[in-house]
Amino acid sequence: FERTGQHHELGGTYHQIGMVWAEQREWPKALDAYTTALDWFERTGQHHQLGITYHQIGMVWAEQREWTKALDAYTTAIDWTQRTDQHQQLGTTYHQIGIVWQQQREWTKALHAYTTAIDWFERTGQHQHVGTTYHLIGMVWQLQREWTKALDAYTTAIDWKQRTGQHQQLGTTYHQIGM
């Protein structure tokens, strides 16, 4: 790409390399590749790609249980996603933020992030993700021993999973209801 002057392709390539390293759990290499991707996206004016790359960086930090760094990256992802009108990505980022807060036992913040994720999923027509997010809301309530609220969330999760044809995920939610 550099030899042929196709510099606009380099950011995406480095982003993909970061994904490969992340899949192999090679965190420093993944972060290096993502950082290089960010640099190329900035240089070539591809700002619409920055949000998804920051999202991936957040996932790398979350995998390492570096919660503050994950939240910082996710927040930056949201900022870039909103600035560049890439709203399709917002639900997924808020969903991941909810997971980070849930891991830290910050129940109110987790519930707020999950609710925001559901709102974005519905606004952008990504209904296939709503059931999974309701399932996680059920888990938050269950961990707080709020049985009725947990059951309500799990029931809503089942409804969404059935409506969107995600029958393979129903067993997990029914298991949690049994718990």
What are all long-range contacts of 117-126, with beta carbons under 8 Å and residues at least 24 apart? 117/90, 117/91, 117/92, 117/93, 118/91, 119/91, 120/87, 120/90, 120/91, 120/94, 121/91, 123/87, 124/87, 124/88, 124/90, 124/91, 126/88, 126/91
Task: Give dist(CA 95, CA 140) in Å, integer.
Answer: 13
Is residue 2 over pLDDT 80?
no
DSSP codes of every residue in 66-100: -HHHHHHHHHHHHHHHHHTT-GGGHHHHHHHHHHH
- Please calculate the CA angle 13-17-19 and round it to the nearest 5 degrees: 115
Those residues whose C-beta lies under 8 Å from the C-beta of residue 137, and which sit 6 or more positions away, are: 111, 114, 115, 153, 157
**pLDDT band for position 25 (cuts 50, 70, 90):** very high
Helix %, strand %, coil % for the chain, to 5? 85, 0, 15
Q: Whose CA is closest to 56, among 45, 43, 41, 44?
A: 41
In this predicted model, what pLDDT tens digit does every residue of 99-129 receive, in sequence order?
Answer: 999 999 999 999 999 999 999 999 999 999 9
**pLDDT band for position 86 (cuts 50, 70, 90):** confident
What average pLDDT score do residues 160-177 get?
A: 93
What does the pLDDT read at residue 9?
86
Is residue 8 over pLDDT 80?
no
Is residue 5 over pLDDT 80?
no
What does the pLDDT read at residue 26?
98
Is residue 7 over pLDDT 80?
no
